Amino acid sequence: VYNPEMSTAAAAPKISLNPGYNPFKSSSSTGAVPMGAGFSVPKSKPQVDEKWEQLYEGLKDQDDVQGMEQTMVFSDDSSQDNTPDSIIAEKSPAHYQYKGKYIMTAVKSGLMIIDQHRAHVRVLFEQYLRQLADRTFHSQKVLFPEVVQFPMSEKVIFEKILPEMESMGFELEDLGGGSYAVNSVPGGLEGLNPLKLVQDMVSSAVEKGVSAIDEI
């Protein structure tokens, strides 16, 4: 039975420490094994490295052979074409444009200067000649059809050359009373007045007796 009169105060616990204790200090007398004593570093390369080296030796021999072949090809090319003229020809462009009007190009006999506008006209002229000979003109619709009026004397000639004009790309609609609507003209005649062109063709055919192809 608990008796409060007989109870005494409990004594406080005491902790004793050894100031000379070191857990990391090794002692030969205790027989402890020093750290790292059970591990050893191999001094020789593994056998896997030797196998990789043998594999790379075969690839290295192939690269050496290919390098020698490429060197021989490049040396042959340089020996065949190493003149100053060939070097200049490779680095120089095929032609030059001078002042936006002329084309300068090198030919065997020297330097050729070409007028751009005249060359363009010449190309179109030859193209139209081929189209006239082959009857391969393409029609181009006009935005606002114009009406041309022919007197009776010109209407007879116009009706004769109308099939030729249609084969060249003209499209004229008969409105009656000698009036015709110009709906289409040959392609490539941009900038020309279609009404005046048809009138001039018919007038020349009446005066000179030429065909529509000769007039155009």
pLDDT reported for residue 45: 52
The domain spans of the chain are 138-215
Closest among 210, 190, 192 to 201, alpha carbons compared: 210
Based on the number of CB atoms within 10 Å of its own CB, is 201 exposed (0-12), middle (13-18) or buried (19 or more)?
Answer: buried
Residues 121-148: pLDDT tens digits?
Answer: 788 778 777 777 776 677 788 888 889 8
pLDDT reported for residue 42: 53
Q: For the CA atoms of 132, 135, 140, 145, what is the dihedral angle to 10 degrees?
A: 90
Q: For the CA atoms of 28, 31, 32, 38, what is the dihedral angle to 10 degrees?
A: 100
pLDDT reported for residue 164: 83
Average pLDDT over residues 186-190: 73
Average pLDDT over residues 84-112: 71
Q: Confidence class of residue 103 from pLDDT cuts 50, 70 and 90? A: confident
Most confident of 3-12, 14-23, 98-107, 145-154: 145-154
Taking the C-alpha atoms of residue 211 and residue 131, their distance in angstroms, rounded to an integer, is 16
Query: Which residue intervals of the chain are DSSP H helices?
Result: 47-80, 84-91, 116-134, 152-168, 194-208, 212-215
Total-model pTM = 0.39
- Whether the per-residue pLDDT at 183 is higher than 80: the answer is yes
Taking the C-alpha atoms of residue 171 and residue 137, their distance in angstroms, rounded to an integer, is 12
- Token duo for residue 140: 């181009």
Average pLDDT over residues 147-176: 86
CATH for 138-215 is: 3.30.1370.100
Residues 155-166: pLDDT tens digits?
Answer: 888 888 888 888
CA distances from 85 to 4, 31, 116 (A): 127, 91, 28
pLDDT reported for residue 73: 45
In whole numbers, what is the pLDDT of the chain averaged over residues? 70
Q: Do 74 and 87 touch, CB atoms closer than 8 A?
A: no
pLDDT reported for residue 7: 58
- Whether the per-residue pLDDT at 64 is higher than 70: the answer is no
- Whether the per-residue pLDDT at 208 is higher than 50: the answer is yes
